[in-house]
A = this chain, B = another copy of it.
Amino acid sequence: MLDPAFTLRIPDGDGRPRKICDHCDYVAYENPKIVVGSVVRHGGKILLCRRAIDPRKGFWTIPAGYMELNETPEEGARREAFEEATAVLKIERLLAVYSVPRISQVQLIFRATLETPNILAGVESLEVRMFSPDEIPWDELAFPSVHWALRHDFEAEAGASPAPFGNPADATGDRMPDGRLLPTDEF
């Protein structure tokens, strides 16, 4: 078995350097990745999951993850909520489209409700819990975009325009709201 080995080269007919295999000339195109997730409400409370895996193990997040092949964004958001919290969602609408260009991520975040009140931690969660708005553990959230999504969901709940939110002004997703820079491997 060979070791994987790639060199950055510009393929014929392309304009940018791509990862090309030294052994077989396979072009490993890298594309931005789509994260799908939801702010999930039930009985005035919001579902959060405490992460059982790195990055940001032990911190709280909304149910979200990488979109898979051959699903719609809504299907992906429902799948992630089921995997992480055994939660069965009814998707209401698109809440936000965020982007974190440094790590080439686009996030599609929906507003959703629980079809049934049953939640249970999946293998990627240490614990899952419904938080009332004044209980949200703001200092223990996993990622900047979890802050953004919760803030934006409160604005939506208060009657903001149905246009989806984007990144807060000047926010690129590299720092937590307190200004702390996240190490690259924490994404």
> Which A residues have a C-beta under 8 Å from some C-beta of B?
1-5, 16, 21, 23-26, 28, 30-34, 66-73, 75, 93-94, 97, 99, 101-102, 104, 106, 108, 161-164
List B contacts of A102 (CB < 8 A). Answer: 70
List B contacts of A25 (CB < 8 A). Answer: 1, 4
**Within the assembled complex, what's the spacing in Å between the Cα atoms of A164 and B109?**
13
B34 touching A31, Cβ below 8 Å:
yes
Instruction: Count copies of this chain in the complex.
Output: 2
- 8 chain-A/chain-B pairs, Cβ below 8 angstroms: A4-B25, A23-B24, A31-B31, A32-B34, A32-B71, A70-B101, A94-B97, A161-B162
Apart from A1-B25, A97-B108, 11 more pairs, CB < 8 Å? A4-B24, A4-B25, A5-B24, A16-B68, A23-B24, A31-B67, A34-B34, A34-B106, A70-B104, A94-B97, A163-B163
Q: What's the dominant secondary structure at chain A's contact region?
A: loop
A69 touching B161, Cβ below 8 Å:
no
Shortest Cβ gap from A177 to chain B (Å) = 20
**Contact of A33 (CB < 8 Å), options: B31, B72, B75:** B31
List B contacts of A23 (CB < 8 A). Answer: 1-2, 23-24
List B contacts of A72 (CB < 8 A). Answer: 99, 101
Residue of B nearest to A15 (CB): B83
**Within the assembled complex, what's the spacing in Å between the Cα atoms of A70 and B16?**
13
